[in-house]
Structure 1
Amino acid sequence: MPNISHKGQRMPASPIRKLTPFADKAKLDGKTVYHLNIGQPDIETPEGMINAIKNIDFKVWAYTPSEGTLSYRKQLTKYYNKAGYNITPEDIIVTTGGSEAISITFMTCLDAGDEVIVPEPFYANYNGFASQSDIVVKPILSYIKNGFALPPISDFEKAITDRTRAIFICSPNNPTGYLYSREEMEALKALVLKHDLYLFADEAYREFCYNDQPFVSPMHLDGLDENVIIIDTVSKRYSACGARLGCIITKNKKVWNAAIKFAQARLSPGMVEQIAGEAAIDTPAEYFEQVKAEYTTRRNTVVTALNGMEGVYCPNPGGAFYVMAQLPIDDSDKFCQWMLEKFSYQNQTVMMAPATGFYSTPGAGLNEVRLAYVLNNDDLAKAMTCLEEALKVYPGRIESEKLKAESVL
């Protein structure tokens, strides 16, 4: 029997999706499962996007340009320049989701064995894309005790080697919800320029910043035009995860000219998705105001409930729609599986993402979980009650003092 590749063997499983069979079994057993494991919002997609699809009228469903249609890139330019990016349509490559944007960026800017420094915990699929590209993720720990703020620049300096090519950030952050400040971004700018590195920025959650905190992009900083690559997607902004429509933005023409060759190799992004994406740019501001208000309410429900549970700590995130919580448990993978396999409260249970999958450092995240507050407020409240009851009876519960002594973080 032929063997699979070494790369296939190394490819990590998704911590967000790997427990799905257990959730499916729980549902077959008649349990209600509250899905807080994945960033699939229940917010309605803007009506303009849906209508644009309904009103499509073409005779041939044709290829589009590899860089994306000019009309869509012009619309994107309007959106980003309103946010102060000062770009042109020629700075954009449209991709099949943010995932392809990450993959093309890695392949364009790094050779096999090159290193990218990423503050952790980080979006788990970064590891997968790195594995596909044969590059090395160098994690820099951030800590729950200070809300997962940017690690000290000295920690980055220590991690830089002669194979380091880039620093990769996500702000607002998935999985922590942390929003980088201007001071933190300026510190990264100085480091990137000092060592002549790329700065990759995943901005999927740009529109979701809370408590009037400003969003600061590397595109807002002077002197980084040759270093910055923005990775973006419509998935979260417009609650359009199934559209699989993203983009790469860079003013570095060498990078753009190399990246387009990878884009040509996969032919083109979808026509229908770009038609919907064009319409999305005209989504009224009121849509985002309402969505932000809804997420703020949900965030407050979840964070307040978690911090009211004995032995639980959850920092209040500044953006996105995730929280990372420290629980009085021995092993988050075991706990999340136990919740689906063994536990129910009033015939309900909760599906969460074990935090171990968002770390590369061995032993980190063992007592943490990521929760996505993407359900309506009533369901979130029920899920929090269910989680609190579960923690009371979980066989692997660790008492608070022991937890503090043993915690990696």
Structure 2
Amino acid sequence: MLREMSDTAELVHSFDGSFDSDMTIEIGLYNGTEYFASLWQLRNLGYYGDPMNITAMKRWGHPAGPEDASEEGVFKLPPFDGPYDLPTSYEAASGRLHYIALNLQRVDVGNPMFGNVTAIFSPSFRKDAVAASPIDSGLYVMGCNKTYMETPGSHAEPKLAKKIACNKGDITPGVTIPTAMDHVLLNNRIFWSKSGGVDTLARAFARTHAEPAHAPAKVTNASSAELIMYIEPNVLANALYSENAIKLLVGSFYALFGSTRGGLLRQFAAARRVALTWAIGACSTGFISDENVSFAGDVRLLDWPTSGAMLNATASPGDATSFAALWDAAADERAHAGGNLTTAAVWRWWAQARSTLSGALRLSLPRPGDCASWERTLGKNEAGECVAYLD
């Protein structure tokens, strides 16, 4: 059962948030290449300043940045050839990885700690391009790797890292085939055994199989404390839109629906021919700092005007018009509110969207047995269709 849950769990990369050298909506829309760029590619291309500037090199390179120690120590990737262990060419930068979280908890918004937009990577990467660390490899390096931690100038140990049972688990990555993932799944549970009673595998099982209508919220809800306890199945390959590397984009309904940036996200999705959905999550901003936040999440709503022509779903005749009207009305209210809506207002718009749009646009997250294949399938809608790309 756990293997099936792991096999169907999404590969998520959340972005457009609080981290200074990640993808943004604008980069996705305006970058002239076919690449969904990685952290090292973005830095090398100069999106976040001159990569040869000494200040940038000190901030991003070893030991101030934990990425090199993680990628070389945990994933055994070869060192870069530049000062501070940084890449000196785009080719070298392209030889590293995309940071990914395994959405084992089936959270509708992906991992909102890292931003208001989530890219769901194609499960086809699992065949030969994924190596999965049992926990966040950066947290492990900053909290468990004594050699790195004792290096002058290394990143300070985060408070959360103190909850890791460093001496009990095995950080060795596994490839995403069932037998190798057994090791990863079990060590994820072992590493977080000090985290105040949170059993990551039991929680994932409850989120997948318990019905919210028949189980208490404490069983079926997700919590922000669990969001950082993810397995990290990083993609060791370039991600090209033209090769369907990104299966789905998920926008935060709270932060972006009806906003100017949300409009850019819709343009990004249309330009790259990637389906777009909207999710409510905890109805909060992308980065959740309060570890006591508990939330149920919900279905994802298909952005039908942007995505409908690409998909096999059978929408109601009025869905496109209704969606456009909802967007325009929410945008008008945001404009009058200075761009931000209250939580109550967002819940009101979410309820209206849910009741106005047909069940064909309401998608559940992947779950074992729901659909025959998840290669190009986004989810099962309330009309019983496994919604997938037409080509």
TM-score (norm 2): 0.28
- Whose relative contact order is higher, 1 or 2, with alpha carbons under 8 Å and at least 6 apart? 1
